Chains A and B, each alone.
Chain A
Amino acid sequence: QVQLVQSGSELKKPGASVKVSCKASGYTFTTYAMNWVRQAPGQGLEWMGWINTNTGNPTYAQGFTGRFVFSLDTSVSTAYLQISSLKAEDTALYYCARDSPGGTFDIWGQGTMVTVSS
């Protein structure tokens, strides 16, 4: 079946980096763009941006430029989110979500909790 499986929870110290993976299965990876969505504890959903899985071209939402990098490894149908110079306020659940042809997010990963604490 179509699914996105994300890597496990991470505990990092301020200033460190983290790389979250999102492995797709059940469909042709390069057919659909991939989005990243952040959800801070007890808060709503925030779109971080998307990556064109055909060209590898990323687009970042306001507030997610500089320390955030989207990348791909199409040979293993996997998208990545890397966050550098981690801050306490980066503590959140990070979701990958497939971009349906209509523009909605039809398939979601299970989420990866990133905790930044000294």
Chain B
Amino acid sequence: AIQLTQSPSSLSASVGDRVTLTCRASQGISSALAWYQQKPGKAPKLLIYDASSLESGVPSRFSGSGSGTDFTLTISSLQPEDFATYYCQQFNSYPTFGGGTKVEIK
């Protein structure tokens, strides 16, 4: 199975900060990567698909990049509602998720 490693596992940031989250795949997955946001007590929400395509309704401050094995999710200006846990997921083969990055308030 393809393993996804997210880093860091957690980070503290302030409102307005630019934040970059990383996801590394154990083998090449082309652009078959998605990013999800999960808030406490809520279901995950799709943010980015195909590594860099923004899901409808998702604010443009979210962006994704990468291909092959290395991917990033960037939040250009962190907003209060963005404090959450973020998961990457590959769908090149049977789906797997990364371990998550928790974004906390500094």
Q: Find the A residue at minimum CB distance from B34.
A: A104
Contact status A44-B43, CB under 8 Å: no
A37 to B68 CA separation, bound complex (whole angstroms): 25
Q: Are A44 and B100 in contact (CB under 8 A)?
A: yes
Residues of chain A with a CB closer than 8 A to B45's CB: 108
Interface residue ranges, B against A (CB under 8 Å): 1, 32, 34, 36, 38, 43-46, 49-50, 55, 87, 89, 91, 94-100
A interface secondary structure, majority: loop
Q: Can you give 19 A-B contacts (C-beta < 8 A)? A: A44-B100, A45-B36, A45-B38, A46-B97, A47-B95, A47-B97, A59-B94, A61-B94, A62-B1, A95-B44, A97-B44, A104-B46, A104-B91, A105-B44, A105-B46, A106-B46, A106-B49, A108-B45, A110-B43
CB distance from B43 to the nearest CB of A (A): 4
**A45–B46 CB distance below 8 A:** no
Please, which residue of chain B has its CB at the minimum distance from the CB of A93?
B43
Known contacts A103-B95, A104-B89, A104-B91, then 17 further A-B pairs from the complex at CB < 8 Å, ordered by chain A residue: A35-B95, A44-B87, A44-B97, A44-B99, A45-B36, A45-B89, A45-B100, A46-B97, A47-B95, A47-B97, A62-B1, A95-B44, A97-B44, A100-B49, A105-B34, A105-B89, A108-B45
User: 3 smallest A-B Cβ distances: which pairs?
Assistant: A103-B91, A108-B43, A104-B34
Main secondary structure of the interface of B (DSSP, over half): loop
How many positions in chain A have a CB within 8 Å of any CB in the partner chain?
20
Q: A44-B100, A103-B91 are in contact. Are A95 and B43 (CB under 8 A)?
A: yes
